[in-house]
Structures are given as C-alpha cells and as structure tokens.
C-alpha cells in the first residue's frame, strides 16, 4: 500500500496514495468534503494547489521538483494553507520558483522548515497573491533572490522568518536581492544576508512594517547597491523598519550604501548603520519623507549622511554620525532640508578635507539646515572645517544648541541660538 500521501476527510477517513497528483485527482472526482492532504515521505513532483484543500507536510520530508515551480496556484485563485515542518526545494537551474503564486485573488499561507532554490532566474518565493503568509526557518536563494512580493493588490502580507540568504560563498557571481516587496503587511525576520550582491530589502509599493534584526550585503559583484532600498516604485510607498544593524561590506568590489531613501516615506529606528565605502544613509527626491532615529551612522570613507534635492524636511536623531573626507560627515545639497538632533558629528580625516558638515549650492537652490543639541568635531582643528560652504558664501542656520571644536567660517549665521546667548560654544576640549 502506498503511504507517501494520504487524504483525511471530514469524517476522519484516511485514503493513501503514492503521489500528490493521484490524491488531488481523487479529491476532485470523489468530491471529498473538507479534505486535508498529508505528505509523509519525500516527493519529486509539482504541487498544484486546489481551492479549499490544505496540505500538511511531515517533519523532515522534502518536496522537490526539477521541471517547474515546486508549489503553484497555476494562476487559479485558491485559498490554501500549507503547514508542517518540511523542506521545499526546486532543483532546476531554469526559470522556476519553489513557491509561485500568480493569481491576484489567491490566499495562501506557507509554514515550513526550509525553502531552497537552485534557479538563477527566479526567487525562492514569487507571490502576487492577495494574501500571503510565510513562516520559515531558512529561505535560501543560492543563485537568485529570496522572497519577491509582486502585487500592490496584496493587502495581507506576513513574513516570519529566522533567516533569508542569497548567494553562495564559493560562487561569487551568485545571488541577488533578498526581498522585493509590494503590498501591505508585516515582516519579522532575524537576519537577512546577501553574500555577493543585492538589496536586503527593496520596498516599492504599499506599506510595510518590518522588524529585521540584522541586514547585511557584501559586494562581490561590480554594482554598488544599497542594503535597504526605497526606489523603483510608485513614489508613495512606506517602510517602517526596526532593526539592530544594517551593514554594507566590501568584497571583491567596493561596498554600497546602507539606507537608500529616494522615494516614498521611510521610518528607520535602529542601533547602527555602517558602510565601508559609500554613504551610510543617502536621501534624495522631492516629496521624499522620512524619520531616522539611529544610534550610529558610520561611513568609513565617505559622508555618513548625504541628502540632496529633497524639499521635505527630514529629521535625523542620532547619537553618532561619523564620516571621512572632503564630502563631510553630513553632506547637504540643493534645497535638501535636514533637522539634526542629539548628534555628535565626527570627521575622522586629519587633513584639510576634515569637514563635519558640507553645504553645497550647485545652482540657485540653497540647502536648509536646523541643529538641535549637536556637537561637531573635525579631525583637524587647524585646517579642517565645521561647516563648509561649497559654491557660495552666506547662509542662515537655525540653531537650538550647537557645540564645536573649531570656530565657524565667515558667512555662516546662526539664528535663534548663537554665541551671545550661549547656544553656540566652541571648545578644543570637545573630542
């Protein structure tokens, strides 16, 4: 008697089959009511979901396929729950996903141990379903991406994963972006790792609230890219991200940006953002909105924060903002508008390039800057600069508390608070 697959009906009767296809054919032909498909042994076949038919996979069981998507709604609207503790894989290198839900009215939830894909042309999970829930220990896109949510019609998204990984250590050309999100919902992920290339998360449409502890991308492919990315979307997307670390490391090539906020609204609350070679946070685009509360924003070789051509005021509340070189630790261009709060701004360069804040006016637009309880430390108190005016001289800066280890250059006027009312204090003791 075949024992690979069983069907449990509403009366508790169990029928056994040798494969999933025979089980679902019998469900349709026999009109079995409220069936539950139970998979007890490894299967190598495609799982086409049926509306109203749930699937349970026994612990340790592997479902794989080498000739198409492993699990799919076949572009037919289904409501289906996949549960258990199985391993879902797709073993072809062709353009196939492990889970591919293409119907915009499908409602699917998947709970498993591991999802792993060999394909270089498709993510582990590709979903345009109206509802999609995922609970998984590991999503591993060996050659491509992790979870791609393709439809802004998706109004019930919930991703709960221990780890999402793209790329192989031994194949430096493998892997890409871990998560592309469109739609509305929630994510709770312990770690996202892009080993060779890719955004950890690129949010493009809808509103996502995410709690992701650690996000890391390493550049082993020549294409500088941001770990967290808001761009290439509608311009109205919103991402609320709580995190511990966002890291962008050099690999075979120089690293990219930590947070890239060029569209929509980004709210980032976390402990540390770090980039070895590019900016820690890069902000641009008129009508781009944001709030950034991060303890440490660090770039080893460039500005920790770069903001240009965005006319909405963004608030950056940060304990330490650390950059290096002539672009300053904070670089503000055109009509960019920043409010810096509670920050110690440090430029670690000890040459004349050691500028804490750079304000640039390349044409007719003047940057806007407000300071509130800010300390600025240049690495060279002789020829370094606290606030450098590039392309112009003469600007007014609103000040609600400012300390520096060097006097300001000519042309900078502090309004509201200045040295006369002790809201601006210069001391070389500040280090």
pLDDT in tens, 376-430: 999 999 999 999 999 999 999 999 999 999 999 999 999 999 989 989 999 999 9
pLDDT in tens, 363-389: 888 999 999 999 999 999 999 999 999
Q: To which H or E segment does residue 186 belong?
A: strand 185-194
Low-confidence ranges of the chain (pLDDT < 70): 1
For residue 107, what are the contacts with CB-CB under 8 A and spacing of at least 6? Answer: 78, 79, 80, 129, 130, 131, 132, 156
For residue 330, what are the contacts with CB-CB under 8 A and spacing of at least 6? Answer: 303, 304, 305, 307, 321, 323, 338, 340, 345, 356, 357, 358
Question: What pLDDT does residue 29 have?
Answer: 93
| CA–CA gap between residue 230 and residue 259 (Å, rounded) | 8
pTM (2 d.p.): 0.96
Three-state secondary structure call for residue 225: coil
Q: To which H or E segment does residue 87 belong?
A: strand 87-90
Beta strand 201-205 with 355-360 is unpaired
Report which of 222, 145, 236 is spatially closest to residue 182, judged by C-alpha positions.
Answer: 236
| CA–CA gap between residue 104 and residue 107 (Å, rounded) | 9
Q: Do the Cβ atoms of 238 and 214 come closer than 8 Å?
A: no
| CA–CA gap between residue 195 and residue 201 (Å, rounded) | 14
Q: Do the Cβ atoms of 161 and 209 come closer than 8 Å?
A: no
Question: What pLDDT does residue 282 have?
Answer: 98
Question: What pLDDT does residue 159 have?
Answer: 98
Using the 8-state DSSP alphabet, how is residue 305 labeled?
A: E
Using the 8-state DSSP alphabet, how is residue 91 labeled?
A: -
| Buried-exposed string 171-184: b where 16+ CB fall within 10 A, e elsewhere | ebebbbbbbbbbbb
Question: What pLDDT does residue 215 have?
Answer: 98
| CA–CA gap between residue 92 and residue 345 (Å, rounded) | 51
| Buried-exposed string 2-23: b where 16+ CB fall within 10 A, e elsewhere | eebbbbbeeeeeebebeebebb
Measured CA angle at 306 (ends 302, 310), to 5 deg:
165
Question: What pLDDT does residue 419 have?
Answer: 87
- Please state, in angstroms and as integers, the Cα–Cα distance from residue 184 to each residue in 1, 145, 210, 372, following that order: 46, 20, 11, 35
Place of tokens 């890069």: 282
- Please state, in angstroms and as integers, the Cα–Cα distance from residue 396 to each residue in 28, 359, 360, following that order: 75, 11, 14
């Amino acid at each position: 008697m075949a024992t690979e697959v069983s069907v449990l009906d509403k009366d508790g009767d169990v029928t056994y089959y040798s494969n999933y296809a025979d089980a679902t054919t019998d469900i349709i032909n026999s009109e079995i009511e409220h069936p539950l498909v139970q998979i007890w042994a490894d299967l190598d076949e495609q799982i086409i979901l049926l509306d109203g038919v749930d699937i349970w996979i026994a612990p340790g069981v592997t479902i794989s396929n080498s000739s198409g998507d492993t699990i799919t709604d076949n572009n037919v609207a289904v409501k289906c729950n996949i549960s258990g503790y199985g391993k879902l894989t797709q073993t072809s290198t062709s353009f196939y996903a492990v889970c591919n839900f293409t119907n915009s009215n499908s409602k699917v939830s998947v709970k498993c141990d591991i999802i792993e894909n060999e394909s270089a042309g498709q993510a582990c999970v590709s979903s345009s379903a109206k509802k999609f829930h995922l609970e998984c220990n590991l999503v591993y896109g060996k050659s491509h991406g992790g979870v791609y949510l393709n439809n802004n019609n998706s109004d019930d998204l919930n991703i709960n994963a221990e780890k999402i990984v793209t790329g192989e250590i031994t194949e430096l050309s493998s892997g890409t972006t871990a998560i592309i999100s469109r739609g509305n919902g929630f994510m709770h992920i312990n770690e996202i790792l892009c080993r060779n290339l890719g955004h950890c998360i690129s949010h493009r449409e809808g509103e996502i609230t995410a709690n992701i502890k650690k996000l890391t991308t390493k550049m082993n492919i020549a294409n500088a890219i941001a770990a967290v990315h808001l761009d290439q979307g509608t311009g109205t997307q919103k991402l609320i991200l709580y995190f511990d670390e966002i890291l962008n490391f050099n690999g075979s090539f120089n690293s990219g940006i930590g947070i890239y906020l060029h569209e929509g609204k980004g709210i980032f609350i976390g402990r540390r953002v770090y980039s070895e070679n590019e900016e820690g946070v890069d902000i641009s685009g008129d009508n781009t909105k944001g709030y950034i509360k991060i303890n440490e924003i660090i770039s080893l070789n460039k500005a920790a924060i770069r903001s240009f051509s965005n006319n909405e005021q963004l608030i950056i509340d940060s304990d330490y903002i650390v950059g290096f070189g002539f672009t300053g630790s904070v670089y503000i261009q055109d009509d960019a508008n920043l409010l810096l709060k509670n920050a110690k701004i440090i430029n670690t360069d000890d040459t004349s390039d050691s500028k804490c804040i750079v304000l640039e006016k390349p044409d007719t637009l003047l940057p806007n800057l407000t300071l509130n309880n800010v300390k600025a430390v240049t690495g060279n108190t002789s020829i370094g600069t606290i606030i450098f005016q590039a392309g112009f001289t003469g600007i007014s800066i609103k000040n609600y508390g400012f300390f520096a280890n060097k006097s300001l250059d000519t042309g900078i006027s502090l309004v509201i608070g200045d040295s006369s009312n002790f809201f601006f204090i210069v001391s070389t003791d500040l280090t």
